[in-house]
Amino acid sequence: MVHHTMKISSSSAASASSRRSHIAGVVVKVAAAAILGTLASCAVPPAPMPLPDAPPAAPAAGPVIERQGARWVAVDWLALPGWFDDTLAGAWPALQRSCERPAPGWGALCAQALAATPVDDAAARHWLMQRLQPYRVEAADGSADGLITGYYEPLVEARRTPGGAFRVPLHAPPADLATRRPYWTRQQLDTLPAAQAALRGREIAYVADPLDALVLQIQGSGRLRVTEPDGRVQTVRLAFAGHNDQPYRSVGRWLIDQGQLPAEQASWPAIKAWAQRHPQRVNEMLWANPRVVFFREEPLPDPAVGPRGAQGVPLTPGRSIAVDPRSIPYGTPVWLDTTEPLASTPLRRLVVAQDTGSAIVGAVRADFFWGWDGDAEAQAGRMKQPLRMWVLWPRDAPR
């Protein structure tokens, strides 16, 4: 997915897909059972990992690794806050999915990870500590403090034909998208006859609220519960298929600059509430973001499988993040040290870098994927927390 974090901040390096856009810039306090994903399939059923008799000793620190805009500083395992408290077996499905497209240097380890499943958290921890080295992620200036935001996969009611409240179209890419760069802006597509003509016949479905269309574009993908003309209802996925090559502008930032919302209150729920109070200004707000995302429709045979991130593998709620791939390669396990949105509860867990986004720039910067169920929208829309992070890298892999 390529997303713009709908967070309400601008995309600074200190400040979660690939083709996607996000909301709070549209990237868990979910119980361990809720974040388990399906395991990667293998020709031979994976053998369980034996429980180690005792945890291995922490490996010795290695050298500093320089990456574009980032430094990785080798540390001891004890430097990872909460490392011995996470339900690490819950992260295994996300790791196995990344191992379907292993990063350079991960081939041998990924073959092992796909062939075995830990019997419990202790076995998963043993496996990781025996094979990987933790590195603290820092910016080029040595700062280890950064920002984490959140994203999710929206579920929106839709109709195949316009009628009643359902009059806001979602479009497939226009036929002439590649011939005009940049393409028409959002305002031009809404108002100019020539621009509107290019979209005619490209409608996938219609939603009732223009903010629902915006959130799908910011997140870069989503699910539609579509009522067909014959009355059948089916749920399909909208996947990112392109954009108009215009810059992304945060509507939250526009509201702050207009004096409509204080910066500390500019969350996605607050934006929606503002739009309900000021319906006559909704288009003005929407047109402040000239970028438009186009979609393709995909079947959704298994609702438990997430959208594909920039790595090309399905995202796992609570275990996938979007990163700046110049600083952290796709498929890298990452240890997070942050807090829950609107709470002081620590959020310390193992995740996997599987996505990116236009607002996800810098070394210590991540977008946390909350999923699609329950309070995913609320959590993603409010998440804007301080962050520290560590990468786990094979000891013998190229750096």
**Residue pLDDT, tens place only, 55-109:** 444 444 458 999 999 999 999 999 999 999 999 999 999 999 999 999 888 999 9
Measured distance CA(14)–CA(279) in Å, rounded: 34
210: preceding bond cis by omega (within 30 degrees):
no
Shared domain check, 161 and 28? no
Looking at the structure, do residues 123 and 10 belong to the same domain, yes or no?
yes
For residue 107, give the 3-state DSSP assignment: helix
pLDDT at 168: 98
384 in the same domain as 336: yes
Instruction: Please check whether residues 322 and 386 belong to one and the same domain.
Output: yes
Coil, helix or strand at residue 333: strand
Domain count, the chain: 2
Residues 74 and 193 grouped into a single domain: no
Same structural domain, 239 and 210: yes
Q: Angle at which helices 121-131 and 107-115 pack, to 10 degrees?
A: 160
Shared domain check, 316 and 293: no
| Residue 269 lies inside a defined structural domain of this protein | no
Q: Is residue 282 part of a domain?
A: no
Give the pLDDT of residue 13.
Answer: 32
- Do 114 and 169 have their domain in common? no
Q: Which domain holds residue 373?
A: 2-133+308-394
User: pTM of the predicted model, to two decimals?
Assistant: 0.79
Q: What is the pLDDT of residues 171-224, one digit of tens each?
A: 999 999 999 999 999 999 999 999 999 999 999 999 999 999 999 999 888 999
Q: For 251-276, what is the mean pLDDT?
A: 92
If asked whether residues 294 and 320 sit together in one domain, one would say no
Same domain, 73 and 193: no
Mean pLDDT of all residues in the chain? 85
Whether residue 265 has pLDDT greater than 80? yes
Q: Is residue 253 part of a domain?
A: no
pLDDT (tens digit per residue) in 132-173? 999 999 999 999 999 999 999 999 999 999 999 999 999 999
- Token pair belonging to 52: 């180690």
DSSP secondary structure letters along 230-295: TS-EEEEEEEEEEE-SPPP--HHHHHHHTTSS-GGG--HHHHHHHHHH-GGGHHHHHHTS---EEE
* Under 8 Å between Cβ of 290 and 341: no
* pLDDT score, position 38: 26
pLDDT at 120: 94
CATH number of the domain to which 181 belongs:
2.40.240.50
CATH number at residue 351: 2.40.40.10
pLDDT of 42 > 80? The answer is no
